[in-house]
Amino acid sequence: MILPETTPMKRLFGVLALLLALFPAPAFAAPLKVVATFSVLGDMVRQVGGDRIDLTVLVGPDGDAHTFEPSPADARLLASADLLFLNGLGFEPWLAKLAAASGTQARFVAASDGVEPLSMNEGGATVPDPHAWQDLANGAIYVRNIEAALASAAPADAKAFHENAAHLLRELADLDKWTRAEIAALPEPSRKIITTHNAFGYFGAAYGIAFLAPEGLSTDAEPSARTLARLIDQIKREHIRALFIENMSDPRFIRMISAETGASLGGKLYSDALSKPGGAAPTYQAMFRNNVPQLVAAMRQNR
């Protein structure tokens, strides 16, 4: 093939046109400003968005999203965001007010969109249970929603988002299989736990574990001797030695339960927030790798 004769200037324009065709404007654009409401969701967004997004998480590691109180800095952050990911299902009761105060133009995406919601009891009322991410199949729904929203906000990076999401989805499928195998190794009658955590409804439904509330125990205050006696009765009656009681710190009570029933308190479970980096559960996947062995070891004591 014989190329037509060109002047150096024409050739330069040709190269520029080619560059523009190869790298359309959005590829040069600043990374998408993304906000996620809490650490578990933020980690999923981080894994899908990778280095193509500028991510901030409102309620960080070890934080409680139920009772979060946003600051003026959070409103300023939201005002400059392109995209906000929330859990939905009533998990972020403070968000509507924050959004109004910030005047944000960000697109809001509920990561739980498409999840089959369970309900839970809260102060005597039946409300949607927001803790849907505790079922890994729901986690996969979150990841697909995140991928779709990021891709539509930054189409030039859609391929990267898709690859990251596909990688994460494979990991979640493996983790789901492992979780099922770990629990299947336990005799069926022993698959039950007494806990003050109310965040494991989806986990229990997905993986076949009964999570029972400790009778008479409130979730915020240290138990009294009388509620402790009720708890000991319940442990004996239900033949459950798997106990995850968050607020019991009095070592005398823990010794008493152990002496009366043979049960001991299980370790720390992560439900609504991740740990800090370097902790036991710094990612969504690490949360399951922390919780599942602790739950299984505790249920192994049931008889």
Within 10 A of 151 (CB to CB), how many other CB atoms are there?
A: 18
Gap between the Cα atoms of 46 and 63, Å rounded:
18
Q: Which amino acid is at 293?
A: P
Q: Which amino acid is at 81?
A: A
Site stretch for Zn ion (CB under 5 A), options 6-14, 183-191, 194-202, 256-264: 194-202
Residue 33 tokens read as 């400003």
Residue least distant from Zn ion (Cβ)? 272
92 binds Zn ion (CB under 5 A): no
89 binds Zn ion (CB under 5 A): no
Q: How far is the CB of 274 from Zn ion (least distance, A)?
A: 13
For residues 129 and 157, which CB has a smaller minimum distance to Zn ion in the complex? 129
Q: How far is the CB of 79 from Zn ion (least distance, A)?
A: 28
Site stretch for Zn ion (CB under 5 A), options 76-84, 196-204, 208-216, 279-287: 196-204
Q: 251-261 vs 225-238: helix axis angle to the nearest 10?
A: 30
Q: How far is the CB of 120 from Zn ion (least distance, A)?
A: 9
CB 76 within 8 A of CB 101: no
Beta partners for residue 244, in sequence order: 195
Q: 284-299 vs 39-49: helix axis angle to the nearest 10?
A: 130
CA separation, residue 91 to residues 159, 209, 256 (Å): 31, 23, 36
For residues 50 and 63, which CB has a smaller minimum distance to Zn ion in the complex? 63
Q: How far is the CB of 231 from Zn ion (least distance, A)?
A: 21
Q: How far is the CB of 66 from Zn ion (least distance, A)?
A: 5
Residue located via tokens 């600051």? 71
Question: To which H or E segment does residue 34 belong?
Answer: strand 32-38
Site stretch for Zn ion (CB under 5 A), options 162-170, 198-206, 208-216, 217-225: 198-206
CB 251 within 8 A of CB 222: no
Site stretch for Zn ion (CB under 5 A), options 116-124, 255-263, 271-279, 291-299: 271-279
Site stretch for Zn ion (CB under 5 A), options 74-82, 145-153, 193-201, 210-218: 193-201
For residues 135 and 272, which CB has a smaller minimum distance to Zn ion in the complex? 272
Beta partners for residue 268, in sequence order: none
Q: In 225-236, which positions are buried (b, 16+ CB within 10 angstroms) versus exposed (e)?
A: eebbeebbebbe
CA separation, residue 268 to residues 82, 84, 281, 287 (Å): 36, 30, 10, 11
For residues 199 and 248, which CB has a smaller minimum distance to Zn ion in the complex? 199
Residue from 92, 203, 272, 288 binding Zn ion (CB under 5 A) = 272
Q: How far is the CB of 162 from Zn ion (least distance, A)?
A: 31
Q: How far is the CB of 64 from Zn ion (least distance, A)?
A: 8
Q: How far is the CB of 199 from Zn ion (least distance, A)?
A: 4
199 binds Zn ion (CB under 5 A): yes
For residues 246 and 260, which CB has a smaller minimum distance to Zn ion in the complex? 246
Query: Which residues have a Cβ under 8 Å from the Cβ of 241 and sit 6 or more positions away?
Result: 235, 261, 262, 263, 264, 298, 301, 302, 303
For residues 40 and 199, which CB has a smaller minimum distance to Zn ion in the complex? 199
For residues 199 and 299, which CB has a smaller minimum distance to Zn ion in the complex? 199
What residues make contact with Zn ion under the rule CB under 5 A?
A: 199, 272
